[in-house]
Amino acid sequence: MGNIVYTLTNRRHLEKCIAYAESHDQALVGDKSLAFWLMDAEMYTNMSVLTPFTPVIDRGIQLHKMIRLITHALGGE
């Protein structure tokens, strides 16, 4: 946890920076986005409002929410 905090807060005072956690279909670098690493193919089949969440989807959504909270809390000014 200390390494994450150091990485997100290691910048010059008032230096503009972008902090985000990718959750769309493809990451900017061409690899899987964070949400796809957490939930993978189940995102296409088990995220309907008509069906209950599977444990993989439920865990992935909760982890992604925590990652976004930490990133936005520490990643900007």
pLDDT of res. 50 = 87
pLDDT of res. 43 = 83
Contacts of 24 (CB under 8 A, 6+ apart): 33, 35
pLDDT of res. 63 = 92
pLDDT of res. 29 = 67
pTM metric for this prediction: 0.73
Ranges of each domain in the chain: 1-75
* Residue 51 DSSP label: S
The predicted-structure confidence for 21-62, as pLDDT tens digits, reads as follows 776 666 666 777 888 888 888 888 888 888 888 999 999 999
Is 77's pLDDT higher than 70? no
pLDDT of res. 62 = 93
Question: What element of type H or E holds 73?
Answer: helix 55-74
